[in-house]
Structure 1
């Protein structure tokens, strides 16, 4: 019985340590070096299944091309207004901070509530095709358990309404 009590105490201590590490920023990861759109393309998806990209098909042979593939955001009318609408939507989103805002590009960081894991979300305005390409990637971990896809789909639903 005493061993079970020690194991329970150890589990609580480990959980508390993990939460404290997250709250202190030790689980946020570092900003990736390759962000932004170059030559009309966002960076490729991550090498592991923890990202989504509307341009995944532009990287043939990429090991996560199929997992990462997601549709871009579509709009009608003025691209500048569409990007402005997207920026306003992101500014209202919980635990989301816009880091970079350019005439055709947005980089935002999204953090989880408890452990403060950070994901980078990028948007690039493709005016000729009336779409906004998106890439969302976790900084840490090999898997994202569908979080990046769910985030982009939630943004899409809000953007489209």
Structure 2
């Protein structure tokens, strides 16, 4: 617990003096049908991680209907969230930046719509080691809203 508190204090100090947004990772997006792998740190979840990796794996979203309607539904859900900026959007991909209320830490959240009724998801913190489960909670929250909007 002491190490976690020390790391958190260090991040806060760095954030106060240097800003908390971090640099945009260069490996975001879809390459060969895959989102970037999660790092070893516990501040990332992905539906394309190995399902045996309980720390990083999270189930993809599913939907019925067209891909276009699913993308529109996701964008409508994201529009209801606070401190979210859509930073990239194509016919089969959406990337959003979520900023924390305190210090403005940025998490990059990606949604990939392959040619089947699934939404592959990835949510990762730009800075730090642990996110205290924030990325997992966010994806599950967005899943619930996405499902509710489709019913």
> Could you state the TM-score of these two structures normalised by the residue count of structure 2?
0.85
Structure 1 stretches (4+) deviating beyond 4 angstroms?
A: 17-20
Q: Which has the larger radius of gyration?
A: 1
> Could you state the TM-score of these two structures normalised by the residue count of structure 1?
0.79
Distance 1:124 1:20, change over 3 A: closer
- Would you say the 8 A contact 1:28–1:117 is kept in 2? yes
Deviations 1:58-84 (A, max 9, x none): 8x9xxxx33100000110011110011
- Would you say the 8 A contact 2:19–2:103 is kept in 1? no
2:16 maps to 21
The reply to whether residue 39 of structure 1 matches residue 32 of structure 2 is yes
The reply to whether residue 71 of structure 1 matches residue 59 of structure 2 is yes
3-state DSSP class of the match of 1:148? helix
CA distance in 2, matches of 1:20, 1:42: 28
2:147 maps to 160
CA distance in 2, matches of 1:83, 1:18: 38
3-state DSSP class of the match of 2:54? helix
The reply to whether residue 95 of structure 1 matches residue 90 of structure 2 is no
Map of 1:1-161 to 2, 5 A cutoff? 18=13, 21=16, 26-57=19-50, 65-128=53-116, 130-161=117-148
- Would you say the 8 A contact 1:19–1:115 is kept in 2? no
Aligned residue pairs, count: 138
3-state DSSP class of the match of 2:78? helix
Distance 1:146 1:20, change over 3 A: closer
Give 5+ residue unaligned stretches, structure 1.
1-13
The answer to which structure has the higher helix fraction is 1
Give 5+ residue unaligned stretches, structure 2.
1-8
